[in-house]
Amino acid sequence: MAEKYEIKEIEVWDGNYAMSQALRQAQVDVVAAYPITPSTPIVENYGNYVANGYIDGEFVMVESEHAAMSGCVGAAAAGGRVATATSSQGFALMVEVLYQASGMRLPIVLTVANRALASPLNVRGDHSDMYLGRDAGWIQLDAFNAEEAYDMTLCAFKIGEHLDVRLPVMVHQDGFLTSHTAQNVHPLSDEEAYGFVGDYKCVDEMLDFTRPVTYGAQTEEDWHFEHKAKQHKALMDSRTIIDEIFAEYGKLTKRTYKRVESYHMEDAEVAIVALGSSVETCRLAAEELRAEGIKAGVVAPRCFRPFPFDLIREALKDVKAIACLDRSSPGGAMGALFNEVSAALYSTQSRPMVTNFIYGLGGRDFSVKEAKRIFMEQKAHVDAGHITTPIQQFSGLRGPKLGFFETKRS
């Protein structure tokens, strides 16, 4: 039996510590990990809990992130609760195995402290790694602060391990901005938290020798398509279960999450769509602008995968101008969030104006002032009746303005 851990009603935890406490409370059986800034403390803390008897688990310190996820896959197939953590280059090294984990329908939880991808080398937060994982067949939950990092991690186990889901889940937080910023967190007691997550339910475990299983089979053009379609359907079908689990968690904590979080959207005329800690920045900006009579609102996908296409459409259909903020270098295209939000809005009658801002790369600061400026630019589009700027702009960049695609008006 694991040792009792003293926990207070209100703790001052940073995002990493909050996630590692969630790992402890879920009594994760195996963590296979390789350290990388800024996610390192998550697995260091797990190691600490194992070393001091707070978890009856196995801490496997492997030689690379590729091996970390490989070890997680082997462990999960053997039937038990599995988690790890990574960031940036480590995430990139893991990518091959991310696809293999989801293809084998193994409910591994990967906590991610989002960080930029080299080159140039950069340890600060942006969403390049999160975007790199978006087609990997994982559920991706996004936490905007430390408390949410804790909440989403607990929810991740329950969602991924749900018998109707059985998919791996990533929980994202912003590197340093969330991972290293100590904030008030209201944790559940160990009993409540474990009661919520529940015992791990084995499915096709390799350690049940009465029923041998083959994991990682080969399929070619005869069956591969059907497998991938089934996996996609499982992701799509997980939407209602995520909603149920968020509701159940809300009853326990009075913190009720939604797959799309809307803020001041009831009558919003202009809106920002964002991910990560910037959501809170934008909310502050909206709050200030509301006092000035600007009807500003913020929409944030809590669940990045499966992408809440219908909820995004519902949240934004009555808005006149929308700025989509992408904290990842789009590499010769429009930002991913812009593309997905625009696609969702295309099937509305109103078809609001949508523009794209690339911002905050490599940890470049994003201020309330800048968020307000972006809101006001949307207001200018509304007043003019058309988009008055290039459709894609870079926000917070040094030197001359950078933008692409002028609007053509006929």
Partner 1 sequence: MAITSLKNLKEFSTNNDRFEGAHLLCPGCAHSMIVRELMNCSDDNLVISTNTGCLEVSTAVYPYTSWDTSWIHIGFENAATAIAGAEAMYKARKKKGTLKDPDAPVKFVAFGGDGSTYDIGFQWLSGAIERGHDFTYICLDNENYANTGGQRSSSTPVGATTTTAQAGSHSYGKKEKKKDIVAIMAAHGAPYVAQLAPNKWKIMAQGFQKALETKGPCFINTVSACTTEWRFDPKDTIHVTDLATDSLMFPIYEIIDGHELNILYRPKNVIPVEEYLAAQGRYKHLFKPENKHVIEAIQKEVDQKWEMLQRREEARI
**Tokens 């904590």, residue located:** 253
Figure out which of the listed residues 19, 36, 77, 353 binds partner 1, where binding follows CB under 8 A.
77
Figure out which of the listed residues 32, 279, 319, 374 binds partner 1, where binding follows CB under 8 A.
32
Q: Shortest distance, CB of residue 30 to partner 1, whole angstroms? A: 5
> What tokens does 135 get?
């087609």
Cα 372 from Cα 378, distance rounded (Å): 10
Query: Under the criterion CB under 8 A, does residue 79 sit at the interface with partner 1?
Result: yes
Query: Under the criterion CB under 8 A, does residue 58 sit at the interface with partner 1?
Result: yes
Cα 148 from Cα 14, distance rounded (Å): 11
Contacts of 302 (CB under 8 A, 6+ apart): 141, 142, 257, 258, 259, 260, 261
Cα 368 from Cα 252, distance rounded (Å): 32
Q: Shortest distance, CB of residue 59 to partner 1, whole angstroms? A: 9
Query: Under the criterion CB under 8 A, does residue 95 sit at the interface with partner 1?
Result: no
How many alpha carbons lie under 13 Å from residue 73 in its C-beta half-sphere? Answer: 20
> What tokens does 188 get?
């559940």
Asked if 200 and 166 count as a contact pair (C-beta separation under 8 A), the reply is no
Query: Under the criterion CB under 8 A, does residue 3 sit at the interface with partner 1?
Result: no
Task: Specify the stretch interacting with partner 1 by CB under 8 A; choose among 122-130, 214-222, 250-258, 321-329.
Answer: 214-222
Please say which residue, 62 or 284, places its beta carbon nearer to partner 1.
62
- CB count within 10 Å of CB 35 equals 18
Figure out which of the listed residues 38, 57, 137, 308 binds partner 1, where binding follows CB under 8 A.
57
> With contacts defined by CB under 8 A, how many residues of the chain interact with partner 1?
45
Query: Under the criterion CB under 8 A, does residue 29 sit at the interface with partner 1?
Result: yes
**Tokens 């791990």, residue located:** 200
CA angle 286, 287, 290 (to 5 degrees): 80
Figure out which of the listed residues 119, 120, 163, 217 binds partner 1, where binding follows CB under 8 A.
217
Please say which residue, 58 or 318, places its beta carbon nearer to partner 1.
58
Query: Under the criterion CB under 8 A, does residue 66 sit at the interface with partner 1?
Result: yes
Q: 255-258: long-range contacts at Cβ-Cβ below 8 A with a sequence spacing of 24 or more?
A: 255/147, 255/151, 255/186, 257/148, 257/151, 257/152, 257/155, 257/302, 258/302, 258/311
Query: Under the criterion CB under 8 A, does residue 221 sit at the interface with partner 1?
Result: no
Figure out which of the listed residues 47, 80, 390, 403 binds partner 1, where binding follows CB under 8 A.
80
Cα 222 from Cα 41, distance rounded (Å): 45
Query: Under the criterion CB under 8 A, does residue 76 sit at the interface with partner 1?
Result: yes
Figure out which of the listed residues 72, 141, 154, 337 binds partner 1, where binding follows CB under 8 A.
72
Q: Shortest distance, CB of residue 207 to partner 1, whole angstroms? A: 6
Instruction: Tell me the sheet residues that pair with 261.
Output: 300
Query: Under the criterion CB under 8 A, does residue 189 sit at the interface with partner 1?
Result: no
Query: Under the criterion CB under 8 A, does residue 125 sit at the interface with partner 1?
Result: no
Instruction: Tell me the sheet residues that pair with 394.
Output: 358
Query: Under the criterion CB under 8 A, does residue 206 sit at the interface with partner 1?
Result: yes
Task: Specify the stretch interacting with partner 1 by CB under 8 A; choose among 170-178, 203-211, 251-259, 396-404.
Answer: 203-211
Dihedral angle sign, alpha carbons of residues 48, 29, 248, 189: negative
- What separation in angstroms does the CA of 18 have from each of 10, 14, 21, 129? 12, 6, 5, 21
Figure out which of the listed residues 53, 182, 189, 223 binds partner 1, where binding follows CB under 8 A.
223
Q: Shortest distance, CB of residue 2 to partner 1, whole angstroms? A: 9
Query: Under the criterion CB under 8 A, does residue 52 sit at the interface with partner 1?
Result: no
Distance separating the N- and C-terminal Cα atoms of the chain: 72
> What tokens does 350 get?
């109103």
Query: Under the criterion CB under 8 A, does residue 43 sit at the interface with partner 1?
Result: no
Figure out which of the listed residues 164, 191, 212, 398 binds partner 1, where binding follows CB under 8 A.
212
Query: Under the criterion CB under 8 A, does residue 186 sit at the interface with partner 1?
Result: no
Asked if 304 and 172 count as a contact pair (C-beta separation under 8 A), the reply is yes
- Helix 15-25 vs helix 190-197: crossing angle, to nearest 10: 70
Query: Under the criterion CB under 8 A, does residue 215 sit at the interface with partner 1?
Result: yes
Figure out which of the listed residues 70, 87, 145, 178 binds partner 1, where binding follows CB under 8 A.
70
Would you put residue 399 in left (φ > 0), alpha (ψ -120 to 50) or beta? left
Asked if 125 and 115 count as a contact pair (C-beta separation under 8 A), the reply is yes
The residues that touch partner 1, with contacts defined as CB under 8 A, are 29-30, 32, 56-58, 60-64, 66-67, 70-80, 82, 96-97, 100, 200, 206-210, 212-220, 223, 227
